[in-house]
Amino acid sequence: MNELTISIPDEMLMSKIYFIREQKVMLDSDLAELYKVETKQLKRQVNRNIERFPQDFMFELTQEEFDRLRCQFGTSNNRGGTRHLPYVFTEHGVLMLSSVLSSQQAVQVNIQIMRVFTRVRKMLFDNTELRLAIEEIRRKTDNNTKNIEVVFKYLDELIEKKENPVPRKVVGFKIPQKKP
């Protein structure tokens, strides 16, 4: 089999991953462009194999979601020239696409997309660990700040007592003074 090597910059692939409905997804039109097929052909293949694409693998955007996404793109035309709202594919949906689009291009691009999804997940995990570590440090410093405030309060009280000593009653045995 003739091995086809496709190299798409990871940054470009990452820029095509969106966060919609609490999931990382890719648009059908972006995937079609990467696979070098028409969007309608990609959708046709998906619809022919719809049982492979449950709701957690692929879903159609609502008009509101699409409008918000389109605002991010800065496009002015309605639906980018399409009559239907776009499908978006989760990581598992993208993986399933390689089974319905069997071209060498689709397989190679899917491999690269899976690697990018893995890197994104690792970056999110690393950031989560970093955020947890920062939160732990913040909690400790908050506690230290409270302790330091208590120490300064006691120091202020000690300084106040030293500067304004309260006259003390002399304690002990008094020797009577002899009269001359």
For the chain, domain boundaries: 10-130
Q: What's 7-27 look like in SS3?
A: CCCHHHHHHCEEEECCEEEEE
Q: Contact, 45 vs 34, CB < 8 A? A: no
pLDDT in tens, 78-101: 445 557 899 999 988 888 887 787
Lowest-confidence pick of 123-132, 144-153, 154-163: 123-132
Residue 63's pLDDT is what?
Answer: 92
Torsions phi, psi of 135, nearest 5? -60, -40
Measure the CA–CA gap between 169 and 155, rounded to whole angstroms.
25
**Is 175 in a helix, a strand, or coil?**
coil
**Residue 58: strand, helix, or coil:** strand
Please report, as a single letter, which amino acid is at residue 132.
L
| Domain at 10-130: CATH code | 3.10.260
